[in-house]
Amino acid sequence: MIGIINYGAGNIFSLTAALDRLSVSYGMVNTEADLDKYSHIIIPGVGHAGSAMEKLTATGLVNAIKALKKPVLGICVGMQLITEHSEEGDAKLLDIVPVKTKKFDKTLNIKIPHMGWNAVQHKNNSLFTSVDENEQFYFVHSYFIEYNPTFDIASANYGLKFSAAVQKDNFYGVQFHPEKSGRAGEQILKNFSNLS
């Protein structure tokens, strides 16, 4: 059963709608005690990484999240939160995956935010089981996770190569929105719910 961290910075409705379609049961994590009720944890997130981190800190859940040994998935800003630092608000984040969240540079001649469908090249990782190579996923972001082959499990190109998904131990992150990415995105959520 999936626990969704409820800290006021996530688009929970579209995520729960996707989990409903998959018949994956879930509940909300509001307190540290709630974390024990679930086998898998999702950190959703939209908007500003700095303010999202402030909201997460206000819940008192930060140390408990960092200590988790069960599978954890950060989505979009939730993925950025598991990195060490974001240029958005010059914010120190959870520092679980030692990579940085950076702003897309206007000199790359790209539209910011990066919004829409983009191909993703993934590695042989259980999060991407039964997902085609170069599958398209839906992105909405102005900041990206720097590419680091040690933690990268999927990359995308938009003016430059960046990490579309990362993993360190039991912590996973995806920059795209699986809940808005059709069949392939639902496969990601299903694969996550089956991780042991």
pLDDT in tens, 104-127: 998 889 999 999 999 999 999 999
Q: Which of 48, 114, 122, 177 is flagged as catalytic?
A: 177
Please provide the average confidence, as pLDDT, over all residues in the chain: 96
Active site residue 54: no
Active site residue 141: no
Residue 132 confidence (pLDDT) = 95
Residue 11 confidence (pLDDT) = 76
Domain limits for position 56 = 2-194
Burial degree of 116 (CB within 10 A; 0-12, 13-18, 19+): exposed
Strands (E), the chain: 2-5, 26-29, 40-43, 72-75, 83-86, 91-92, 97-103, 114-122, 135-141, 143-146, 152-157, 161-168, 171-174
Q: Quick check: 47 pLDDT over 90?
A: no
Q: Which of 40, 48, 76, 88 is flagged as catalytic?
A: 76
Q: Average of pLDDT values for 19-32?
A: 97
Q: Average of pLDDT values for 27-36?
A: 96
The 10s digit of each residue's pLDDT in 59-91 is 999 999 999 999 999 999 999 999 999 999 999
The 10s digit of each residue's pLDDT in 135-182 is 999 999 999 999 999 999 999 999 999 999 999 999 999 999 999 999
Residue 90 confidence (pLDDT) = 95
Residue 106 confidence (pLDDT) = 85
Active site residue 76: yes
pLDDT band at 93 (very low <50, low <70, confident <90, very high): very high
Q: Average of pLDDT values for 29-38?
A: 96
Number of domains in the chain: 1
Pairwise CA distance, residues 127 & 192, whole Å: 6
**Domain harbouring 50, CATH code:** 3.40.50.880
Residue 9 confidence (pLDDT) = 84
